Amino acid sequence: MNSRRDFLQKLGLSALALQLAPLSNWAAETKTIEPAYDGPMLRVAILGLGGYGGMVAEAMRSCTKAKLVGLISGTPSKIKTWQAKYGIPEKNCYNYQNFDNIKNNPDIDAVYVITPNGLHRDFVLRVAAAGKHAICEKPMAVNAKEGQEMVDACKKANVKLLVGYRMHFEPKTLEVIRMRQSGEFGKIRFFQGQCGFTIGDPTQWRLNKQLAGGGSMMDIGIYAINGSRYMTGEEPIWVTAQETKTDPVKFKEGVDETIQFQFGFPSGAVASCLSTYNMNNLDRFFLDGDKGFAEMQPSTGYGPIRGRTHLGELNQPVTTHQTVQMDEMAEIIFNNKKPVVPVDGEEAVKDLKLIDAIYQAVKTGKKVEVSI
Ligand code: NAD
């Protein structure tokens, strides 16, 4: 491959131009060659072969430390299609009735639960009882009490419980966190997280209280909650929240359409966030300190994530979030690697406590003190 110098010289650029040309984009486009991985491979079965499960399966094709080896589904035809697509042997395929037998399968290390939210708790409890590591999609449960039950069950079974917080491995997000930790933004004063989209089909599970656990807050608002914690580096001590519902037919009792919420942090910093199922173009984080700022848009979508700070554009590499997440989870499971921002069950319970507090604040109209 041509070196950068050869490339620029072919373009007829002078030595001066070589010095002036920004290195950052070049660095972002150039892959560092790492020695081939020869550690253990995390062998994963996906439970719930839906839209996001399909995305995770595709992303795992590029993993070096994790591999899709098993399937769990209530739909036999999906199992057949996925088996052919990913070369999964019959002995690693289960349905929802018989998958407890996975405990006798030495070729599967972990089960990744990617079903509607309301089913996460029961499936994870069964994964733990089968002695397999559990990876679970967000929101990990529909309230903090259920989330804590999952944490306790996995601890008791001596298996890990990890949550699909893919942004915790995203390079531009990690750079903003690094800058905040090193004081580049000074004292943090304010965070703003705006997360939402216009939801379609009114019959889908995301608008069913039983299966979703709530509405936009459970699905997309959780990114603003989680982001307000990792961007500021603090845990909220109080919550206020207000709900707006323009379509009570589509968004029934217990299914929130739009909620604005505010957090207060011990340092005096505040957060102001919006979660909605009724507006597009909302995928934005803003972090403000007394010496600088970071702005990300898109901030939590599948990418590419874009952002800038008071020092200029963020140029960290664009990654496939789920590929990096699964490789990092292999390191967490096998080598106890500590990610910069945790992705374990305890981390998820903190978000669930805040969701509980937001719903309580909406209901009572009062400021809710929290300790998480
Ligand atoms: P989906 O509807 O596309 O897929 C859900 C799957 O669960 C389907 O295969 C469905 O057959 C199965 N299922 C099992 N029991 C079911 C039941 N009783 N009712 C309905 N479906 C049932 O949904 P999705 O978008 O794949 O979301 C699944 C989970 O993944 C959710 O928890 C969601 O929050 C999460 N998710 C995370 C991300 C992310 O970026 N981390 C993105 C999308 C979805």
Look up residue 296 and give its two tokens: 């990300």
Q: Estimate to the nearest angstrom the gap between the alpha carbon of 258 and the chain centroid.
A: 21
Residue nearest to atom 7 of ligand 1 (CA): 115
Pocket lining: 135 vs ligand 1, CB cutoff 6 Å: no
My answer on whether 220 and 97 are in the same domain is no
Pairing of strands 238-244, 110-113: unpaired
Whether 23 is covered by a domain: the verdict is: no
Pocket lining: 137 vs ligand 1, CB cutoff 6 Å: yes
My answer on whether 128 and 192 are in the same domain is no
Look up residue 79 and give its two tokens: 């199992």
Pocket lining: 211 vs ligand 1, CB cutoff 6 Å: yes
Q: How far is the CA of 23 from the centre of ligand 1 (A)?
A: 41
Look up residue 139 and give its two tokens: 């929101």
Pocket lining: 50 vs ligand 1, CB cutoff 6 Å: yes
Q: How far is the CA of 8 from the centre of ligand 1 (A)?
A: 47
Pocket lining: 138 vs ligand 1, CB cutoff 6 Å: yes
Look at residue 32 in the predicted model and tell me its pLDDT.
Answer: 59
Burial category of 16 from C-beta neighbours within 10 Å (exposed 0-12, middle 13-18, buried 19 and up): exposed
Look at residue 31 in the predicted model and tell me its pLDDT.
Answer: 52
Look at residue 311 in the predicted model and tell me its pLDDT.
Answer: 98
Catalytic residue, from 223, 230, 277, 359: name it.
223
Give the E-state strand segments of the chain in sequence order. Answer: 42-47, 66-72, 93-94, 110-113, 133-136, 161-163, 188-196, 238-244, 258-264, 270-276, 282-289, 293-296, 307-309, 312-313, 368-369
My answer on whether 178 and 162 are in the same domain is no
Pocket lining: 190 vs ligand 1, CB cutoff 6 Å: no
Look at residue 5 in the predicted model and tell me its pLDDT.
Answer: 36
Structurally, the chain folds into a number of domains equal to 2
**DSSP assignment string, 348-364:** HHHHHHHHHHHHHHHHH
302: annotated active-site residue: no
* CA–CA gap between residue 150 and residue 125 (Å, rounded): 6
My answer on whether 120 and 185 are in the same domain is no
Q: What is the pTM of this model?
A: 0.92
**DSSP assignment string, 266-308:** TTS-EEEEEEESS-SSEEEEEEEESS-EEEESSSSSSS---EE
Q: How far is the CA of 113 from the centre of ligand 1 (A)?
A: 9
At 97, the amino acid letter reads Q
Pocket lining: 213 vs ligand 1, CB cutoff 6 Å: no
Look at residue 35 in the predicted model and tell me its pLDDT.
Answer: 76
Pocket lining: 164 vs ligand 1, CB cutoff 6 Å: yes
138: annotated active-site residue: yes
Look at residue 20 in the predicted model and tell me its pLDDT.
Answer: 35
> CB neighbours of 305 closer than 8 A, spacing ≥ 6?
170, 172, 173, 296, 298, 299, 318
Helix, strand, coil shares of the chain, percent, nearest 5, are 40, 20, 40
My answer on whether 148 and 172 are in the same domain is no
Among the candidates 129, 150, 166, a domain finishes at 166
Quick one: which atom of ligand 1 is closest to the CA of 75?
Answer: 11
Catalytic residue, from 65, 132, 138, 353: name it.
138
My answer on whether 257 and 359 are in the same domain is yes
Quick one: which atom of ligand 1 is closest to the CA of 115?
Answer: 7
Whether 64 is covered by a domain: the verdict is: yes
* CA–CA gap between residue 121 and residue 153 (Å, rounded): 10
Q: How far is the CA of 54 from the centre of ligand 1 (A)?
A: 10
Q: What is the pLDDT along the chain (372 residues), one digit of tens a residue?
A: 333 333 333 333 333 333 333 334 444 444 556 678 888 999 999 999 999 999 999 999 999 999 999 999 999 999 999 999 999 999 999 999 999 999 999 999 999 999 999 999 999 999 999 999 999 999 999 999 999 999 999 999 999 999 999 999 999 999 999 999 999 999 999 999 999 999 999 999 999 999 999 999 999 999 999 999 999 999 999 999 999 999 999 999 999 999 999 999 999 999 999 999 999 999 999 999 999 999 999 999 998 999 999 999 999 999 999 999 999 999 999 999 999 999 999 999 999 999 999 999 999 999 999 999
Pocket lining: 171 vs ligand 1, CB cutoff 6 Å: no
Measuring CA to CA, which residue among 250, 330, 308 is closest to residue 42?
A: 330
From 49, 96, 137, the mutation candidate for ligand 1 (largest count of ligand atoms within 8 A of CB) is 137
Q: How far is the CA of 94 from the centre of ligand 1 (A)?
A: 17
Residue 263's domain comprises 168-318+344-369
CATH number at residue 256: 3.30.360.10
Pairing of strands 258-264, 270-276: antiparallel
> CB neighbours of 144 closer than 8 A, spacing ≥ 6?
349, 352, 353, 355, 356
CATH number at residue 159: 3.40.50.720
My answer on whether 184 and 278 are in the same domain is yes
Among the candidates 166, 185, 200, a domain finishes at 166
> CB neighbours of 90 closer than 8 A, spacing ≥ 6?
83
Q: How far is the CA of 15 from the centre of ligand 1 (A)?
A: 54
Pocket lining: 214 vs ligand 1, CB cutoff 6 Å: no
Three-class DSSP category at 15: helix
